[in-house]
Structure 1
């Protein structure tokens, strides 16, 4: 059986594995990362591990405290609230611009991503979270606004950690899962139809009912 570290390249494998452990909570928030020990556990040398830590720090998942020390970034109600405010304003903006600017290729990407979507049942289901990201990425890309796309993309991993908190605190009911799926369909339909007002409206409703918003109250009571 092939070594996954070789198949991906050691740098990429170290990044993907460490990111996975942080997003699933296998490495809890606030944990100090012993680089030598972690490199041994993952099966790489410290050089690709340090490169992975630099990438994760740029994404806000890790804090580099010195040349040797790193810590998994803590989750706070204030940051959850800040992320929510950004998404409440920028996601609808992206959806509205997408409705105005989408191309046939964008429409094909949105519809393909929509077909792959599955409900988020469990906080450890990174596969479902990945296809959820791909749908929103297709909407963002259809806006054809590179600065806006960069902001929203740059915050996605950080936001995913708060979605995990939301799922861990309370699993979505079947009614919630149906609502979220219907919102995705309505967002896609509005963008494809070129209805910017409706695209913004449905996306705003989608963000208001999001797991990220649920995480705010969860963390505020801790």
Structure 2
């Protein structure tokens, strides 16, 4: 992208892409901002504002050309370039992520996993090699994105080792808040916090208000 867009907009782009891809697979040729809004649950004004950052993607009274939008989002999200991901921690959550392995995405793939369990580390799950965590530096071999699903107590040490190996991005599923250098991007996904937040809003902000 030639210019920076708001992070909130960037986070919605894969959502738009998935819906446009579904429309394309159904043989649809055009879509209105209202149809997009109803499908992705984002209001029409926000969709139009998001799209405006990229110039004229549609025409008033016509809507958006599905084929054009699909190609635009493929190029913007670099769907033809595969991002290889390493998974650290093959417990229940790690195993679920391996089995899922971003099946809805064309450009993200878990290619290896690491675990401290010798029993787990001798197996393969879904044709993904699972190595001992002691082999991290030996096997990582140029992978720049990692998912952490290890115990919180081990997270910082593993993150430090990943960064020393050249990792540029970490998706942290642990409760630990990690200290990382400014040139490494991190996303924290704490499922227990998300659930607590959801329950709070469910009880205190009824949908009809």
> TM (normalized to structure 1)?
0.29
User: Which protein shows a greater Rg?
Assistant: 2
Q: Which has the higher strand share?
A: 2
* Larger relative contact order (Cα-Cα within 8 Å, sequence gap ≥ 6): 1
